[in-house]
Amino acid sequence: MVIEDLVEIAEKERAGGKKTIIRCCMAASCMSSRSEAVKAGLEKAVKDAGLSDQVEVRGVGCMRLCCQGPLVGVEPGNILYQKVEPEDAASLVASTQGAPTDVERGDPEQPFFKKQLSIVLSNSGVVDPERIESYIGADGYKALHSVLFEMTPKELIDHIIASGLRGRGGAGYPTGLKWATVAKTPSAQKYVVCNGDEGDPGAFMDRSVLESDPHSVLEGMAIAGYAVGANQGFIYVRAEYPLAIKRLQIAIRQARQIGLIGSGIFESPFHFTVDIRIGAGAYVCGEETALMASIEGKRGTPRPRPPFPAESGLWNSPTLINNVETFANIAPIVRKGADWYASIGTAKSKGTKVFALAGKIENTGLIEVPMGTTLRQIVEEMGGGAPGGASIKAVQTGGPSGGCIPANELDTPVDYESLTRLGSIMGSGGMIVMDESTRMPEVARYFMEFCMDESCGKCIPCRAGTAQMHHLLDRIVKRQGTARDLATLEELCDMVARTSLCGLGQNAPNPVRSTLRYFRNEYLALLAPGSNGQLAREEQTANSH
C-alpha cells in the first residue's frame, strides 16, 4: 500500500457511487427496531424494481435520532424517513423515482440536526462501517499517511497540543501533553490503549462511534502510536457491546489486509498492530490502571498513581491511554489543522463533544455540539424538552461520578470547568434528563447502589463507605432516616471522596452531594417524623453554611 493505492481506492469508491443512495441505519438502537429487516426489504425492492444500477442501499452507522428509529435517509434531496417498517420498502424505493409515499417523514431541518457540528460523527450515518473502502472514500487514512511522511513525532505532538484537544473520557487532561509524556519516556516497548469500556449508565457515545466509524478510531490509534513510538495497540471494549466488537474485528481485518495496520504501513518503517480485548462486566475497569490490569488478564483493581501509565503502564511499559472519542478526533485534526480545531469551542475547552441524550426527553439520541453550547440549547431546543410538556427538573451528567444540574442552571455552557463548578463533571457524555416525577433522593440511592455493587473492594473507604452511604440513603428514602443520618451521610461523603484510591470511590459521593446541594428540601421532607426537633437544628446549620 502506497499513497497512490489509497487515492485509487478513494476515487474508485467515489466514482462508483450510484445516482441515488438510500442510507439505512444499522447501529444497535435501530437494529433493535428491526432495521436489518428494513435494509433487506429495501435491497429486495431495489432489485425487484430493476433499479440496481441506479440505487444503492447502504447500511450506515448511527443516524442520531434513535427514538424515531429505524431511520432511513435518501440522497439526493436530504430526505429522512423515520419509524420505517420492512413493509414500507417498496413504497420508499418507488419514491426515489418520483412516486408519492406515505412513509413517515422526519424533518432533517429541525434544531436537533441543525445545531449539531460534526467532527467525530462526520462519517456516522454516511459511511458503511463494514467496508474500509467507504471510509477511505471519505478521506480515511489520509491523515495517517501525512503524519508518517510529512511530520516528525515531535511536530505531530506539538500539532495536537496546539489544537487544544482534551481527553474525552471525562477528566479532560490535555491530550497532547499526555502524548508528550509517553513519547519522552525511554523504553523499547510502548503501548497505545483505547478505552472503550463505556460503563457510565446513560452513555452510549463510544458504542455509537465504534459501531458507526471504527476505522476513525483505528487511524487515531495508529497516529498516536507513531507519535509516542508504540507499535502495539489494544482496544478494550465492553462485552455488552457485541455489535461494536464485531465491527471492530471486521475493521481490523480489512485494515490489515490492505496494509494499513501491521508492519511497514505505507511502506514506511512504522509498524503498528491492534488487538481487541473484551471486558467482562466490571465498571471499575474504565479506570485506567484497572483497565490495564484487566488487559493483563487479572482482576480489574486499580493501583495508586504515580507511577502514571504514561511512565509505567501495561507490563510496566509506558502506555498511552485515551478514550474512543479522543482517538476519533485525531484524524480530523491532522487533516484540517490545529488552528481550525482550536477555533471551535471555548477558551479552555476546544472542539466538539458528543453527548448521548436520554431520559425524560422528547428527542433521545446522539448529538455532537461545539463546546460552550448551553445545556438549555441542548435539552430544550435540540432535545425538545420533556415529553408531554412536563417541566425539566434536572440534567444528570457524568454518570455515577457526576451530579444533577438543576433546571435553573440550564444556561450554563457545556465545558469542563463550568460543569465542575456546578458540582457535576463533563464525564464521558451521558446526559440524562429528569422531569418533575423524578425524586432526587431515590436517584442518589440508585447511583450509590451502583457504586456499592461496582466497588472493586480493594480500598476500605470505597468498599465500606459506599455500603454505609447506601444504607443511610435507603433509610432516608424509606422515611426512616433522621437528621443525624443525614449529617452522617454528609460526613461520609467527604471522607470517601478524600480517601478512596481511585476515581470510582473519589467521585461516588458526587450524586449525593449535588442532589443535597440543589434539592436539599426533598431530603428534609423525607426525614422521619420523630426527628422534627433535630430537623429544625439541621435546617439552621444548613442555612448558616
Partner 1 sequence: MRAEGLDHQVYCRSRPVNTETTTPWDKTAVAALTPLQASDKRYKILEAHIKKYQGRQDALIEVLHKAQELFGFLEDSLLLFVGSRLKLPPSRVYGVATFYHYFKLKPQGAHTCVVCLGTACYVRGSDRVLAAIEQSAGIKSGETTEDKQLSLMTARCIGACSIAPAVVYDGVIHPKQDPESALAQLKGWLPHGN
Residues that bind partner 1 (CB under 8 A): 1, 28-29, 31-33, 66-67, 69, 189, 198-204, 207, 231-232, 239-241, 256-259, 262, 264, 273, 275, 277-283, 294-300, 315-317, 356-360, 364-366, 396, 399, 430, 432, 434, 438, 443, 446-447, 450, 453-454, 456
Q: How far apart are CA 127 and CA 110, in angstroms?
A: 22
Q: How far apart are CA 278 and CA 272, in angstroms?
A: 20
Q: How far is the CB of 423 from partner 1 (least distance, A)?
A: 17
Q: How far apart are CA 111 and CA 85, in angstroms?
A: 25
Selection from 67, 61, 60, 64 nearest residue 113 by Cα: 64
Phi, psi of 284 (to 5 degrees): -65, -20
Closer to partner 1 by Cβ: residue 98 or 388: 388
Closer to partner 1 by Cβ: residue 56 or 380: 380
Angle at which helix 440-454 crosses helix 460-477, to 10 degrees, equals 150
Selection from 363, 324, 68 nearest residue 208 by Cα: 324
Q: How far is the CB of 202 from partner 1 (least distance, A)?
A: 4
Q: How far is the CB of 266 from partner 1 (least distance, A)?
A: 11
Q: How far is the CB of 168 from partner 1 (least distance, A)?
A: 16
Q: Is 235 helix (H, G, I), strand (E, B) or coil?
A: strand
Mention every residue, 6+ apart, whose C-beta is less than 8 A from residue 336: none
Q: How far is the CB of 67 from partner 1 (least distance, A)?
A: 6
Q: How far is the CB of 285 from partner 1 (least distance, A)?
A: 8
Closer to partner 1 by Cβ: residue 64 or 166: 64
Whether residue 412 contacts residue 378, with contact meaning beta carbons closer than 8 Å, is answered with: no
Whether residue 361 contacts residue 385, with contact meaning beta carbons closer than 8 Å, is answered with: yes
Closer to partner 1 by Cβ: residue 1 or 469: 1
Mention every residue, 6+ apart, whose C-beta is less than 8 A from residue 177: 161
Q: What does each C-alpha distance from 312 to 221, 345, 502 come to in angstroms?
A: 19, 33, 17
Closer to partner 1 by Cβ: residue 267 or 491: 267
Closer to partner 1 by Cβ: residue 366 or 527: 366
Q: How far is the CB of 68 from partner 1 (least distance, A)?
A: 10
Closer to partner 1 by Cβ: residue 111 or 262: 262
Closer to partner 1 by Cβ: residue 198 or 380: 198
**Which strands form 72-75's sheet, in the order they lie side by side?**
55-60, 20-25, 72-75, 79-81, 105-106
Q: Which three cell numbers stand for residue 375?
A: 445545556
Closer to partner 1 by Cβ: residue 147 or 261: 261
Q: How far is the CB of 271 from partner 1 (least distance, A)?
A: 9
Closer to partner 1 by Cβ: residue 174 or 259: 259
Whole-angstrom Cα Rg for the chain:
25
Q: How far is the CB of 48 from partner 1 (least distance, A)?
A: 28
Q: Which three cell numbers stand for residue 477?
A: 428514602
Selection from 75, 88, 100 nearest residue 23 by Cα: 75
Q: 458504542: which residue's cell?
A: 207
Q: How far apart are CA 466 and CA 448, in angstroms?
A: 6
Q: How far is the CB of 290 from partner 1 (least distance, A)?
A: 10
